[in-house]
Amino acid sequence: MTSGGVQFAFGPGVLSSWWDWLWFHNQTDTSTFARGVDLVFFYIFWVSAAFFVLLMVLMAYFAVRYRRRPGVAPEPSASHNTPLEITWSVVPTILMAVMFVWGTYEYLPLKIAPADAEVINVTARQWGWEWVYENGAQSRDRERIADMDSPVFALPRGRPVKFIMSSNDVIHSMYIAAFRIKRDVFPNMYTSQWTVPKEATHRWSEEMKQFVPIQPGANNGYYMACAEYCGDQHSQMWARIMVLEDADYVKWKEIQASTDDIPLLVLGEILHKTKGCVSCHSVDGSKGTGPTWKGIWGTTEQFKGGGSAVVDENYVRESILEPAKNIVQGFANQMTSFQGQVTERELMALTTYIKSLSAKPDDLEAAKAASDAEMEAKKKAAEEATNP
């Protein structure tokens, strides 16, 4: 990531001059809005820079030219000049009127997505993102960003996508700097934003059987981040955006959509990350917002306000679907319900995965066996279906 100079959060661009610091290096045409926004910014920048230099040069010149000389009285001068004062009121007003009109002109299209835009449903939660594509696909690709397993999302090049967003808990804000888009995400209503990515960043590699950057090092895709402060791991809600050509994009979505052929144990491990469990529940015994899963299977949890339960299939199911029902002592009531967001098979997968993390080797064996048995049964059913 760091080879070849300093790189920036929006993805591509190696810093080659001070100029790149100012705004976006070779990044002004990444989405429908980027170029327009950048032009308005540069207009404001040059107007401001001109005023700033003028004022500071005058201030410095006056400070030297009219510095105090003992015993010398300053020469009288007017303390009021109507034409001058009108000029310096009217000129900035006109310059700013242009900023307003141009800025609003570039902004309004952002609020109106084309009718043929592909809809991606976005759910934000403390602390992670979930994108559900039209075919039901959710990303299972992960990348470690800012010390957190973060999702990798794909977008099609040259086609409009509309994000319809809601939050499971507090306010978040979905921000993709390279596309110059940002919109708050609320728990009590849907908000939306849209974009057309203009440059493909990744392609399918047949040799490596995965999606790889087209210009590795120079453009590894774009960052997405949460821009509205939402608590503990607000700063770790990063995601990677890769832009694919149409054929690759369809292929990516198909790969992500099918989880049926993934063994339960493997699927459980994937879901632990993709469903955001990982942000609170560690699997290595380290302390988090929620209890660690390591060695939890078969133990007895003590609840706040009395009561206890053994961690078994039913307890795991209840904890996922009705997390607020019983709170384990020493932890806060933080988790939101996953009712309707996980399938029965996914629940089984998570249970199997948690079981495999148990302290007892027997449980790991049992989880493996259950996972394999289910795959066998599936295979058998599929064979029967094709050879009746």
Q: Which of residues 215-234 bind other proteins (CB under 8 A)?
A: 223, 225-234
CB of 15 to other proteins, least distance (A): 9
Q: Is 41 an interacting residue with respect to other proteins (CB under 8 A)?
A: yes
With contact defined as beta carbons under 8 Å apart, do 23 and 41 qualify?
Answer: yes
Q: Which of residues 316-335 bind other proteins (CB under 8 A)?
A: 330
Nearer to other proteins, 100 or 207 (CB): 100
Total residue count of the chain as it appears in this document: 388
Q: Is 111 an interacting residue with respect to other proteins (CB under 8 A)?
A: yes
- Name the nearest CA neighbour of 119 among 81, 76, 165: 165
- Pairwise CA distance, residues 95 & 45, whole Å: 12
Q: Is 68 an interacting residue with respect to other proteins (CB under 8 A)?
A: yes
Q: Which of residues 237-276 bind other proteins (CB under 8 A)?
A: 238
Nearer to other proteins, 106 or 130 (CB): 106
Query: Which range touches other proteins (CB under 8 A), out of 98-106, 134-142, 202-210, 211-219?
Result: 98-106
Q: What is the dihedral of CA 215, 218, 224, 225, to 10 degrees?
A: 160
Q: Is 2 an interacting residue with respect to other proteins (CB under 8 A)?
A: yes
Q: How far is CA 264 from the centre of its chain?
A: 27
- Name the nearest CA neighbour of 178 among 26, 39, 31, 7: 31
Q: Is 145 an interacting residue with respect to other proteins (CB under 8 A)?
A: yes
Beta-strand pair 210-213/202-205: antiparallel
Beta-strand pair 222-226/172-176: antiparallel
- Pairwise CA distance, residues 357 & 361, whole Å: 9
Ramachandran bin of 146, using left for φ above 0, alpha for ψ from -120 to 50, beta for the remaining angles: left
Q: How many residues bind other proteins (CB under 8 A)?
A: 101
For the window 289-318, what string marks contact with other proteins as x by the rule CB under 8 A?
Answer: x-----------------------------
Query: Which range touches other proteins (CB under 8 A), out of 48-56, 117-125, 134-142, 242-250?
Result: 48-56
For the window 339-378, what string marks contact with other proteins as x by the rule CB under 8 A?
Answer: ----------------------------------------
Q: Is 55 an interacting residue with respect to other proteins (CB under 8 A)?
A: yes
Q: Is 73 an interacting residue with respect to other proteins (CB under 8 A)?
A: yes
Q: Is 107 an interacting residue with respect to other proteins (CB under 8 A)?
A: yes
Q: Is 88 an interacting residue with respect to other proteins (CB under 8 A)?
A: yes
Which residues are CB-neighbours of 266 under 8 A, at least 6 positions away? 371
